[in-house]
Amino acid sequence: LAIFSAPVWTANQVHLGRLYVFRDVTHERAVERMKSEFVAMVSHELRTPLTSIKGYIDMLLDGDAGPLAVEHQELLQIVKSNADRLLLLINDLLDMSRIEAGKLMLHRAPLDVRPLIRQVATALRPQLDAKHQRLNLDLSETPPDDAPPLMFGDAARVHQILTNVLSNAIKYTPQGGEISVRLSVEPPWMCIAVQDTGIGLTPEEQERIFDRFYRVRNRATREASGTGLGLAITRSLVDLHQGRITVESEAGRGSTFRICFPLLTSLDGINDDEALAQ
């Protein structure tokens, strides 16, 4: 049941009472749930054959069926990169439908984010190099390795959050730009700031970039592949960790995305939080 209410006044400001409107949304909820379940089912069914296609492409590229001419290798690389894009899209759709259905499970444990940041940076090295971009990692404001700042997180999901934000910084920053990732401990939070010198965002765009399927209408966005789901998923994943994500940006100058998670020491009753998040 959805309830809306508003005060009712006469023309000369006498308060008459409140008007309540009750609306039965059972049907809408059922339709939403069916839509989510349908998307989840279709994405899952698409993923299985696609994973098999990718496996066979890799076998061919590895020469398992005999040596390939250079032209054949080049064509197969194109097939492979399109299969990879399709898999990313399907995984995003699956994540989004799980989030909407409240079915995305976190597997949380005490987590040091510094090795994760390094892993994500290494995985994105080819994209950075292809655009001649420099990446500065500043993890130094944190204590030495024997006392790492910990959060209570799902390593794979935090990896996904960092990958989304960092790969956006690369995509929406021109050739030769600079990107920095800074970790800071600001009790009761630990924050990761990803700053770029890219195309930036107007205040109106900043309001909408976390919406599902929203992509800014500009050349850089048209040329970069994407679905407009990345930041919507990222924000939901950050929320599930009881964290916050914000953006500061100036069009034409660059953007800074700040992701803050509760420091593990400041969480009272991990089990309660875990129960809430699931």
Contacting positions for ligand ADP (CB under 6 A)? 164, 168-169, 172, 196, 198-201, 209, 214-216, 221, 226-232, 255
* Strand bridging mode 134-138 / 178-186: parallel
Shortest distance in whole angstroms from residue 31 CB to ligand ADP: 25
Shortest distance in whole angstroms from residue 224 CB to ligand ADP: 6
Shortest distance in whole angstroms from residue 76 CB to ligand ADP: 25
Kind and range of the H or E element at 150?
strand 150-153
3-state DSSP assignment of residue 108: coil
> Residue of minimal CB distance from ligand ADP?
226
Which CB, 79 or 214, lies closer to ligand ADP?
Answer: 214
Distance CA 58, CA 247 (A): 39
Rg from Cα positions in the chain: 23
Shortest distance in whole angstroms from residue 163 CB to ligand ADP: 11
Tokens linked to 238: 């950050």
Which CB, 169 or 245, lies closer to ligand ADP?
Answer: 169
Which CB, 74 or 250, lies closer to ligand ADP?
Answer: 250
**8 Å CB contact between 193 and 181:** yes
Distance CA 184, CA 216 (A): 30
Which CB, 149 or 236, lies closer to ligand ADP?
Answer: 236
**8 Å CB contact between 139 and 114:** yes
Shortest distance in whole angstroms from residue 251 CB to ligand ADP: 9
Which CB, 230 or 262, lies closer to ligand ADP?
Answer: 230
Distance CA 111, CA 130 (A): 31
